[in-house]
């Protein structure tokens, strides 16, 4: 099949996150993260799975990067575990932790792989949660900025692509509204908005520090973007979609790119009495940082449908399919505003996520028109059950998913979007935060189940060989 030609220098990548791959949760001086504690609370994760060992990347990083090199990967997006490099969250760095990432960077560069670092992929040092409530305190923004500066100073000579925060919309809401993530607080909406504002300040401070330390580098964010479609042309549903986009997407994107909260969102939260304190100084800071953002990164898995939702309608607290039992997801929403029913036109994964490649073109188009920034697709992939047969995994379903989504970025590129990179989630199989090890995303299979004890051996899936050819042909063979 004839595929696409991406621009020269296009970064064909794959991604991971520290907690989901590293393991070695208390080795070589690493401090605990909030996830190390949270997974130990019974009932919080699928079958009690945790990242104590994960896929043991901490000890197998060389083998993993050799596989990346064999694939011809152009970029590897990974995250730094903040408590591995600063066990107390601030203060004295852990040189062994820093050496671990330094070695990974060198090994990538040696193999022609561009390293792309995410500073925060959810594993806040537990020490900061204990000290002052983590992101609930404005101090956390300063500590995050100090940690970011330390990383820019240590790695900025070699790493030119940086992402401050991964999916702020997910970890703040799950941490303070649904209690699905640490710190596991339920329906604390005022606290959620305040913590979220503090993350914005941390992001802004890091961005503002960046270019002085890494003058030839680029910095952006990774947002979990689920573009909203109105259920139909009933004005009530179109308005619900507007509310959805404003409160679930632009609430973050406008801050990153304009340095401002969307007006209708602010009005809504003010009316509810939960709009956080935003000083003039904060606004100036956010504005200044927005002008320094080099690219807008987003993770795309699916679009969402929006439909009007009565005041006694669907809530945020519906059941989420964490088991792979198709059809077990509840419709969720914000009472009085919108709810997100399934899209009757789309297929879904076993975890009830809509499969919508057109939505990726749509996402690129919306972001380009609204923000005029280069885009990085920092995650995209298919979570599925895989079976290892005679050392191979025949994941034609994953190849099909990736092919359609890569075609969708070509369309977006043809239509004027400037796309710098595309990262498959994920390079190896890894721990899915709430779904255990059975929801697999990797191009490389790892022998482990929910229970500890697998061999942790790596096997190349069919998608590994397929993506290698996509990269070699710069997208023309799909
Ligand atoms: C994103 C996260 C990733 C990853 C991915 C897949 O939200 O940035 O860390 O987990 O989604 O999600 P899940 O593992 O829930 O299927």
Measure 288 CA to ligand 1 centroid, in angstroms. Answer: 30
- Alpha-helical (H) ranges within 123-234 are 126-132, 139-155, 168-176, 189-213
| Average of per-residue pLDDT values in the chain | 97
Distance in angstroms (rounded) separating the CA atoms of residues 301 and 121: 17
376-385 burial by CB neighbour count: b if 16+ within 10 A, else e?
A: bbbbbbbbbe
Token pair 């792979």: residue: 324
Structure tokens, 365: 């188009």
pLDDT band (50, 70, 90) for residue 4? low
Measure 190 CA to ligand 1 centroid, in angstroms. Answer: 25
pLDDT band (50, 70, 90) for residue 3? low
pLDDT band (50, 70, 90) for residue 276? very high
Measure 222 CA to ligand 1 centroid, in angstroms. Answer: 12
Distance in angstroms (rounded) separating the CA atoms of residues 354 and 464: 24
Measure 432 CA to ligand 1 centroid, in angstroms. Answer: 6
Asked if residues 36 and 25 have their Cβ atoms less than 8 Å apart, the reply is yes
Neighbouring CB atoms inside 10 A of 215's CB total: 8
Measure 312 CA to ligand 1 centroid, in angstroms. Answer: 30
Asked if residues 220 and 294 have their Cβ atoms less than 8 Å apart, the reply is yes
Mutate which of 433, 434, 436, 437 for ligand 1? The one with the most ligand atoms within 8 Å of its CB, which is 433
Measure 433 CA to ligand 1 centroid, in angstroms. Answer: 7
Nearest-5° Cα angle at 36, 49 to 174:
80
User: What are the residue numbers of the active site?
Assistant: 167, 379
Structure tokens, 226: 């689920």
pLDDT reading at 2 higher than 60: no
Whether omega for the bond prior to residue 426 falls within 30 degrees of 0, making it cis, is yes
pLDDT reading at 237 higher than 70: yes
Distance in angstroms (rounded) separating the CA atoms of residues 329 and 349: 11
User: Residue 1: what pLDDT?
Assistant: 41
The atom number, within ligand 1, closest to the CA of 433 reads: 14
The atom number, within ligand 1, closest to the CA of 383 reads: 16
HSE-up of residue 109 (Cα within 13 Å, Cβ side) = 12
Write the pLDDT tens digit of every residue in 414-436. Answer: 999 999 999 999 999 999 999 99
Q: Which residues line ligand 1 (CB under 6 A)?
A: 17, 20, 166-167, 170, 224, 299, 379, 383, 425, 432-435, 439
- From the list 426, 454, 458, 424, the residue with the least C-alpha distance to 439 is 426
Write the pLDDT tens digit of every residue in 5-33. Answer: 677 789 999 999 999 999 999 999 999 99
Whether omega for the bond prior to residue 30 falls within 30 degrees of 0, making it cis, is no
pLDDT reading at 350 higher than 80: yes
Closest C-alpha to ligand 1, atom 12:
432
Write the pLDDT tens digit of every residue in 384-415. Answer: 999 999 999 999 999 999 999 999 999 999 99
Mutate which of 45, 54, 180, 299 for ligand 1? The one with the most ligand atoms within 8 Å of its CB, which is 299
Token pair 């709810």: residue: 339
Closest C-alpha to ligand 1, atom 14:
432
Nearest-5° Cα angle at 248, 243 to 250:
85
Token pair 């034609």: residue: 396
User: Residue 453: what pLDDT?
Assistant: 85
3-class DSSP assignment, residue 458:
strand
For range 136-159, the mean pLDDT: 98
Instruction: Report the percent of the chain where pLDDT is more than 70.
Output: 99
Closest C-alpha to ligand 1, atom 13:
432
Write the pLDDT tens digit of every residue in 186-195. Answer: 999 999 999 9
Asked if residues 228 and 243 have their Cβ atoms less than 8 Å apart, the reply is no
- Under DSSP, the state recorded for 297 is E
User: Residue 258: what pLDDT?
Assistant: 98
Distance in angstroms (rounded) separating the CA atoms of residues 225 and 244: 12
Token pair 């959805």: residue: 244
Backbone φ and ψ for 270, nearest 5 degrees, come out as -65, -45
Q: Is the dihedral of CA 51, 54, 60, 66 positive or negative?
A: negative
Category of 439 on φ-ψ map: left (φ > 0), alpha (ψ -120 to 50) or beta: beta
The atom number, within ligand 1, closest to the CA of 166 reads: 8
The model's pTM: 0.97
Mutate which of 116, 348, 425, 431 for ligand 1? The one with the most ligand atoms within 8 Å of its CB, which is 425
Provide, for the chain, the percentages of residues in helix, strand and coil under a 3-state DSSP scheme, each rounded to the nearest 5. 40, 20, 40
User: Residue 7: what pLDDT?
Assistant: 77
């Amino acid at each position: 099949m004839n595929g696409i030609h991406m621009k020269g220098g296009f970064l064909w990548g794959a991604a991971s996150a520290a907690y989901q791959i590293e393991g070695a949760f208390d080795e070589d001086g690493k401090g605990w993260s909030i996830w190390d504690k949270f997974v130990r609370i019974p009932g919080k994760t699928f079958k009690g799975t945790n990242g104590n060992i994960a896929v043991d990347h901490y000890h197998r990083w060389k083998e993993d990067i050799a596989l990346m090199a064999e694939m011809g990967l152009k970029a590897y997006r990974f995250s730094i575990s903040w408590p591995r490099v600063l066990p107390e969250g601030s203060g004295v760095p852990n040189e062994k932790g820093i050496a671990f990432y330094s070695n990974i960077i060198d090994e990538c560069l040696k193999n022609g792989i561009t390293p792309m670092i995410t500073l925060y992929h959810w594993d806040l040092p537990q020490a900061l949660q204990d000290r002052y409530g983590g992101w609930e305190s404005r101090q956390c923004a300063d500590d995050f900025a100090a940690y970011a500066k330390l990383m820019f100073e240590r790695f900025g000579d070699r790493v030119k692509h940086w992402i401050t925060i991964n999916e702020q919309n997910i970890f703040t809401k799950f941490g303070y509204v649904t209690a699905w993530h640490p710190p596991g607080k339920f329906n604390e909406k005022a606290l959620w908005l305040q913590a979220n504002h503090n993350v914005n300040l941390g992001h802004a401070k890091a961005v503002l520090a960046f270019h002085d330390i890494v003058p030839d580098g680029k910095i952006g964010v990774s947002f979990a973007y689920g573009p909203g479609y109105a259920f139909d042309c009933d004005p009530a549903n179109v308005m619900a979609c507007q509310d959805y986009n404003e409160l679930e997407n632009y609430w973050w994107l406008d801050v990153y790119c304009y340095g401002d909260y969307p007006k209708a969102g602010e009005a809504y939260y003010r009316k509810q009495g939960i709009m956080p304190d935003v000083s003039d100084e904060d606004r100036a800071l956010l504005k200044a940082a927005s002008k320094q953002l080099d690219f807008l990164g987003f993770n795309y898995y699916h679009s969402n449908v929006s439909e009007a939702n009565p005041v006694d309608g669907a809530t945020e607290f519906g059941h989420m399919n964490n088991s792979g039992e198709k059809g077990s997801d509840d419709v969720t929403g914000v009472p009085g505003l919108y709810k997100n029913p399934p899209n009757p036109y789309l297929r879904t994964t076993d975890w009830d996520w809509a499969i919508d490649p057109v939505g990726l073109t749509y996402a690129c188009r919306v972001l380009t028109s609204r923000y005029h920034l280069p885009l990085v697709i920092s995650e995209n992939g298919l979570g599925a059950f895989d079976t290892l047969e005679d050392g191979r995994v025949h994941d034609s379903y994953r190849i099909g998913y990736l092919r359609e989504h890569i075609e969708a970025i070509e369309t977006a590129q043809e239509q004027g979007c400037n796309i710098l990179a595309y990262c498959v989630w994920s390079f190896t199989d890894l721990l899915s935060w709430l779904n255990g090890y059975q929801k697999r995303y990797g191009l490389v299979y790892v022998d482990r189940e929910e229970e500890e004890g697998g061999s942790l051996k790596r096997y190349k899936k069919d998608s590994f060989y397929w993506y290698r050819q996509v990269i070699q042909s710069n997208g023309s063979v799909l």
